[in-house]
Structures are given as C-alpha cells and as structure tokens.
Chain A
Amino acid sequence: MATSLERRTFLKTTALAAAASAAAARGWTPAQAAPAGVDPAVAARNPAGVQWNKAPCRFCGTGCHVQVGVENGRVVAIAGDQLAEVNKGLLCVKGYHVGLSLYGKDRLTQPLLRKNGVQVPVSWEEAIDVIARRIQKNPKGFAFYGSGQWTIPEGYAALKFTKGGLGSNHIDPNARLCMASAVTGFLSTYGVDEPAGCYDDLDKADVVMLWGNNPAEMHPVLFSRLIDRRTRGEKITLVDLTTRRTRSSDHAQHVLLFKPQTDLAVANGVMRELLKRGTWDKAFVDKHVAFRQDTADKPTLDGRAMDFAAFRAALEPYTPEHVEQLSGVNAADIRMLADLFGNPKLRIVSLWCMGMNQHTRGTAINRLVHALHLLSGHFGTPGNAPTSLTGQPSACGTVREVGTLAHALPGGRVVANDKHRAETEAIWNVPAGRIPAKPGYHTVQLWEKFSTPADKGGDIDTVWVQVTNPGQTLPNLGKLFQHRKAGGKFLIVSDVYPTATTREADLVLPSALWVEKNGMFGNSERRTQQWFKMVDPPGQARDDCWQTIAVAKRLFDLGFAGMRDKDGRFLFRVTDAKGAEVPAWKWERYYDVNVDKALFEEYRKFTPYKHKHLAPYDEYVKARGLRWPVVQQKNGTWRETRWRFSRFDDPFVSPDREVQFYHSLTKDDRAQVWFHPYEPPPESPDAQFPLWLCTGRVIEHWHSGTLTMRIPQLRRAMPQAYVEVNREDAARLGIGQGEVVVLETRRGRLELPAWIDGRGRPPQGSVFVPFFDEKVAINQLTLDAHDPISKQPDYKKCAVRLTKKAGGAA
C-alpha cells in the first residue's frame, strides 16, 4: 500500500512539474499564487484519514451500492459506488444521507421492560430470560413478526428459531403488506417466485409501462437509469398508468389516469385487442403458454386450466369502449397500448410496486400483467420483461428466498408439502415431524389474534417484532394493533429508535443498525449483497441475530427440547476453524466468528431446489452482489444469471429450447396465462364517504419514517404528512392551501393540512396521504380487506369524507 502511494505521488509531482514549467514560460510568477502546500489547520482534518468500505443501501429494494466512509469509529461520508452495476455511482437523497440514520440522538441504547406500566431499564440477561420463560410457558402462542429489512442471516435464524425450534409456523413479515401479491403472481404464472428479467432490461427497453408506480420518488435511481438514456439521445416511450399525477408522470409521454381497481379492465382490454387484431405472438403462445382461471368456488394459487377458445371468449366483453366506461381511460389509449404490445419490434418492460400489490385483486392484476407480456411475446429477451420492484432492501433476499412467511420454508419450499418439511428437518437435523404442516397465521390474522383476548379466540399471546413498525404500518390500526386492550399479551420489540410500536411494547430491545453489524441483503433483481460491520452500535445495542440466538440458548439452558437437534446439540451451534464450538450467544464472543457466514452457508444448502443457487459467502465478499442462480463454472469461477428461462443466459434451460419454464405449474415447461374478470373494490365512494383515499410514500422518507425522520436534511424537506386535494374539489369545499381538513372513513378520523397542486395531483374525487408521519397515523383510516390468495391488504383505495375543520361536509 505504502509503495503504491509513493508511486502515485511521484507521478503527480512529475505531471505537475511539466504543467508548471509551461506556466512559468508565460511569465506567470509564483508571487501571485496561493500559499504552497496544505494549510496546516485544514490538514489536521485531512479526509484521507477516512477508511472506506462497501455496503448495500439500508433503504429500498433497488439495492444501490454505497461506499461508506468511516473515521474514528463513526460514519462520516457516503458515496455512490461508480463500479456498481445497479446504481453506477448515483444514489438518491435518502441513500446519500443513509449514514446519518445511525446518529439520531434518541437511539435506543438499553433494554427496557414494562414494570407497573412504565418501561424501565433492565439488563440484557434479564431481558433474554423474560423472553425465554414467556416462550417456554406457551410456545404455540408465540409469533415472530419481521420484515424485508431482516438481513438474510437474521431472517434465516428467526425462521429456524420458530419453525425448527418451536415447531410453530407463526412467523410472518411486514412484506406481507408489501409484495405478497407479486409473489403469488410469479408463483402461479411461472411456478417459481421472482422476476425473470433484471435491471439491465431498463437499458434496452423501448417502452416502459408504469403500472400504478411512481419510481421517480420510490425507486429514483432506477428511474434515472431509464430517463438518463434520453439525455444520451436514446428514445424511450414512458407510459404512466396511474390513479394520480406524480413526478413520474412529468417524464411520461402518456399519462393514462384510471379509476381505482380498474387496472384489471385495462389489461383485459389490451389483451382482447391483441387477439382481435391477431397481433399476439402465436408462436410463443403455442410453444410456451397454457391458459388458466380461478376455480369456481374459492380462488386458489393454482386455479384450473382453461383452453384458448374459452380464454378468448372470456375477454370478449372488454372492448375498448367498455373498458373506457369502466376505467375512464380513453378507448383510443387502449388501442394505443395494443399498438405497443402488438409490435414485436418494440422491447417492453412493465414495472410495478405497491399500486398492483396493495390491491384486493393483487394476485389477479399481477397475473394479468404477466399474461400481457406472455401473450404478446414481450418476454425472455433483453428489454422485454414484466418486473416487480420491492420496497425493502431484502424483501426478496430474506422474505421470499429464505421464506420467513407463515406458509414457507427456505429455498421456495412450503410447509404444506411433506417432502419439503422432511428436507428442511433433515438439513436442520431436527426430529421428523418437528415442523407442522398447517401454515401459521399470516400478518392480518396474527395481529387480529394478538389484539383479541385469549377467551375470545385470541390464541397469540406473545409477539416478537424485529426490524419493523407495525404500530404505524398495519392497516386499520384501531382493529389490528390493540393488544394492550386485550389483556394478558406481551409485545417484544427490537428496534433502533422509539416508534409507535416500541411505545406499546412490554419489552424493548435496542438493536444494531446497518453497518453496525455484518449483513446480507437480496434486492429486486435477484442480487445478493454482503457487507461487514464497520462501526460499533451505541450503548448496549446489539445485533438482532444475536438476540434470537441468545434467546434460543436460554431456552436450551432451560431444557426446552426444541432448541436441541437430534444429537442433543444446540440448534444454532457455531464452530471455529478447528471445529470447536464458539459461544456466540455471549455478546462479547459473538464476533469471534462470522456468524453470518455460518448461517448463510447452512441456508445455501436449501437454494438449488428451485434453481435459486447461491455462491459461497466469500464470493459475495468480493463482488458487488451476484444475481442468482449463481452457478460454478468448469474453471471454478462463479457465474451469475441475468435472464432466467432463456437459453442464452440461463444455464438450466435445455440446450434444445429457446425458452423453458422449468418450474411450470403444469409440469410441461409452460407458463400460465390467467384470465381474471374486472371486479369492483370492497369499498367505493358513496353519498356518505364520497372520495377515494389513496396512501403511499414520498421520496424523502422511507416507510414509517423511523430512520428518515431523524435525518435533518430529509425531515426539513418533508417535515410532516398532508393530504393532496384536487383543485376543483378544494374549490367546491371552500378549502384553501394549507388549511386543516378532517379526513374520516368508517374506521377512523384524522386532521391534516390540505395541499392543492402539490407533489402529486389526484384527479377530482380522490385524495392522497403519505404514511411516513407517525404523528398522523393514516392507517387508522385504511381498510384491512385483503387479497384472498396473497392475504395482502389494500392501502390504495377506500372511501373517505373530507370536511373543512370549521364545518361543511364534502
């Protein structure tokens, strides 16, 4: 290192000498120059003392690579990694300020136990013991509630703790509220979860469809990757299918406003038009597609087959004019979309996120967008892909791949499958039958049971929340976050700051955050990323993963049989290089070995089953993430896969096939094109509640604002929530800019200032409220109605009444 520095200095000096002699030749005299050398006062704070390392960003699912500058044990700077394929040196305003998220002055630094109604500091030993004894008393009444912010090893440990240790399936993540419908969409279309394409498609596409998606604010780096192509002289057509004008609409050629829920009608209208014109891709459909619909009685993940004639007949009512009537999108625009999808020369990417997923017909609309791509053959080549985006850094890596869900097991397995359970029990070395076949409670059920007294069927009495804030983000909070009223319940919350959830907790555990611990995340394009701990957590804050292992060990010591494997060994046994057990449950010994690596290498064994192969841990240390399946080559190197199911890139496609859906639901290498009718939403505006309410995010804040509201630059930019009101509606109601209005639904009431012609512009008859502000918990108003298959609630539409605070109803 020293040698190379000296060499660089020498080269620079030489170059300078040459440049300076040229200046001297022009008669330029040194007397006019600034003082030579480095100002000693400034040199004392020379940023050369900053040490840099890599990490994925802590916020959304884009998975940008940041370089983290550390000096004297603190993060002091952040830079976008120029060599990272995801973000190519750019970040967004949240990412540039991610380092500040560690330093809010109210970090939780010691365990707090509620005694006589007050949270008082306790030791870690006491906290761990309280949890273990609580679980020991009633293991089946315990539920783990996590998120897509769990690192891969953290999520894996929590899953193994619950399903392998407690023999219970009561573990679910907040991702249920976030992308469960995307999962069911992929599973029922391709037989395996997660997008076939990747971000490289954004560099190739001619047309990009935004389905109820506002990436300019929610996935800004990907959005820039797209529109920056225009700066370079390339042409891209951006179609914004939306229920309100957003910053993304600004950059779109086509802004098609549709009435909430009618995206299903729009998709059906375009497919009908393709069939009518004969511009669907007959060859692709013949070779690679089967048709499918819901079972007659109750919708299921697998549905039932239908033939092409029936599919065609089912679509017949969706004429452009009928679709216009349903959706408000012009018939001419439906035809325009059919022009785009009917043109095989165009490369088309569809992007979506919460608009399609937080939808009571979420699985259906996900399937229809896949269907549109498959039917038109816009699939399987670079620039042609239906790609869902995720909101959390490891919604894919942890929740979807590890499987921290009530029904799932690692690597794409499910608890309902005997073979899957047996394989999992074998890898964990636990007795056969340890894992129950019946799925646990999904998120909405879990919180409903926790908010219900035991004698009324509320059979969950202890919930441990890690890395999420359900007290703010669950829908219909007045119903789903009421455990304190239910009595006899015990809420454990691991977090980094006080939140709406910690305030209602019986035990609060201070956690390490981001680069205060080792970690791995998996982003929206199947990219697994790794980072190392760079700074110490404050006070007594400790890793979530350590917390889980420490409770497991305490249970083990208390004689709880579930925490032993078949050979009587501790379930989370970690060994050093010589094979000796390391007491990782002791905090001071936790970093004696890389526990992340040990857990990841065990988890890796699960991944080949659904062709989601992961490389060894050490490969991720060297890489800026790798997209699975990562397969070892003959020369020993590890190769990532950018496009799945296509022979040119996916090593698992047979050499004699161009495209092969090798996890097909119908076991014939075909993907499923589903038919779904348009169905009205569970709650629509009426005389009493005449407006639509949509909720969502803003660029400055990330989800419930726990981190970003503590970053001065972001909080000053967007200090509080508001309600976006249409100008016409405001005029009619006599509401002025900034005036406080009352928002009421059948579930709750809130006061908010009105923003007219603001960040977003909802059409007449609708309003929008962001959910980041804990002072204005909009989820007291939202609906807990959910998709029948994915169980994901709909935060995007319910009926609301807007009143001037002084009086006068809308």
Chain B
Amino acid sequence: MGRPATAGYARLSKPMPAIEVTDLSKTYKVPVRESGLRNSVRSLFKREFREVLAVDQVSFEVPEGQLIGFLGPNGAGKSTTLKMLSGLLYPTSGQARVLGHDPRLREEDYRRRIALVMGNRNSLQWDLPVMDSFELQRAIYQVPKVDFQRRRDEFIELLDVADLVTKPIRNLSLGERMKVEVIASLLHAPEVLFLDEPTLGLDVTMQKRLRGFIANYQKESGASIILTSHYMADVEALCDRIIVIHEGAILYDGDIGGLRSKFVSHRLISFGGNEVSEEMVQLSDSVEGSPERTILKVPNDNVADVASLLLRRGVYDLSIENVPLEDIIDMAFTADES
C-alpha cells in the first residue's frame, strides 16, 4: 500500500498530532415558523430564526496513525465535527489543524491528503462502470498510473469485488456500492480518513469485511482515521480510542476499558439453571433470567466471591461478561442528562 510522502509534516521527537481541535463550535441558524395560515402570512413580513448549537467547544487531538471512534446518538454533532475537519463545513468558532492545514481554507493540497466517506451516499458515476469512476478519481487526485494500478488491484482483491468493477454503479447493491466507494476514496492514499457511518445499512458479513479492510488500510498506510458508527462492533473491532459526544459536547475521551470503569461498576454473571442462594442475592445488584438460565448483575468487587460460590455448587457453565458497549454508552448519555 505504501505510505505517501508527508511533505511539510516533519517527524519530531514527540510526533506532531495529525489532528488538533481546539474549542471547535458550529451553530446552525434555522428558520422557525408555527403552523397555520396566520403564522404563514406573518412569516412573510417577519422571519424568525433559532440558533442550534450542533458542536459546542470540542477539543481533542489525534496522533499520527491512530484510529478513533466518534460515538454519540443521532444529532450529537459527530458528522458536523467530521465535516468541519474535512473542510466541508465552516466552523462558527474555534480552531482545527489537520496535517498542519487549516481545513477552513479548503486548500487543494489539503483535500488531496484526506478523504471523507459518507455511508449510504453515492459519490461515484451512477450510470458508468465502477472502473470509469476509479479512472476519474485517478485524474482528480493526480495519482501516478503505476501507484494507481497497484492500489486499485490490491483493494479489488482485498474486498473481492473483481466481478463488480465492470458493472454500472446503479446495478450494485448497497453493500457492494459501499465497498467500491471505500476503494475509490482510498486510491489516492489519504493520510487522514474521515469515515462517517461507513457500514450503515450493511449486513453483518459485509460490515465485517469492510471493517477488516479499513483495519488493514490503517495498519499498512499508518493513516489517522476518525470513524463514526452506530454499530458498536465497528468501534470495538477497530478503535484504539473512543470519543463520546452528546449534545455537541465531549462526554468521554479515552480507551474502551476506561469508559467501562468510568460508567460501569458491575459485570454480568450468567449460568445454567435458576437456583440462586440468599448469599448470592446479597452480593448482586439484581437477578434476572429464565428457568434455564440466570443472569446476575454483580458489582466488580463481588465478582470473585459470586463466581467461587457458583463453582463450589458445581456450576461450570458460567460466564462472566462485561456490560455491552451499547449499554455503557447509553449509561453515559443518561448520566449526562441527569
């Protein structure tokens, strides 16, 4: 795959962050009008607007070569942040530097070094075979022919799309289209990649394939990647670090283990059967389950005691699990709202 030259991006003893964001904010001005004829007539003479704070003084850094997950519910400000970093949206205030460039300036050299992939969106030539779109990408990014052919063939093989590239985009399924979209966005070997819900609407197999491909690209190229996704499997499989954003502000920035210890103080112990002793009930926060299987929600400090009690009783099909990431994120949002 080969890492592209990073001209003007000197390697220092302490590596310069690929992305630096300081107090970045975005406010949208949206028209407001009550329903009904009277309000409709009134709005002809006096238009009213409301300001919506989509991103609120967000600050973070992404070191070179890191893959971070940007998590949050719909409307949290994830995509807006990504679009500001890619130069698509102009921030209301704050600073951002990506690969030493100010994204607001939308310099050609900057756009040549990055890529933004938006899930469920088509950026290729709808009526033409995929290969024609790839050729256009080559011209747009001025990729040398040899590099282009090498990357294109490698990506086609990795994502197993050899039989798709001669078909027009309009004849591809959503998953197939996303695969070729991702390939097209990587043909110029971007040093920073913004992935906005790249697996949106894809089936589990396709998600896994795309995930593997992204991980491979990151490993081979050393690119810095910010990924937003509603699928926690994407985040758990790919990300070294996560940033949780809620109502435009950062709730958490760190690794997944840290998120667990910050918001979750228990684990789930499940075992076959439904016999629970009084001691186990006292050591657990809650007991749920069916006649076939019981699930105990146990504080981290009591996990060893409960497990040993179960083993002493001869229960061997027990499992100790972390709370799913989805639930942790939900807890984080709930904690923030309360």
**A, B in one complex:** no
Chain B residues close to A by CB (< 8 Å): none
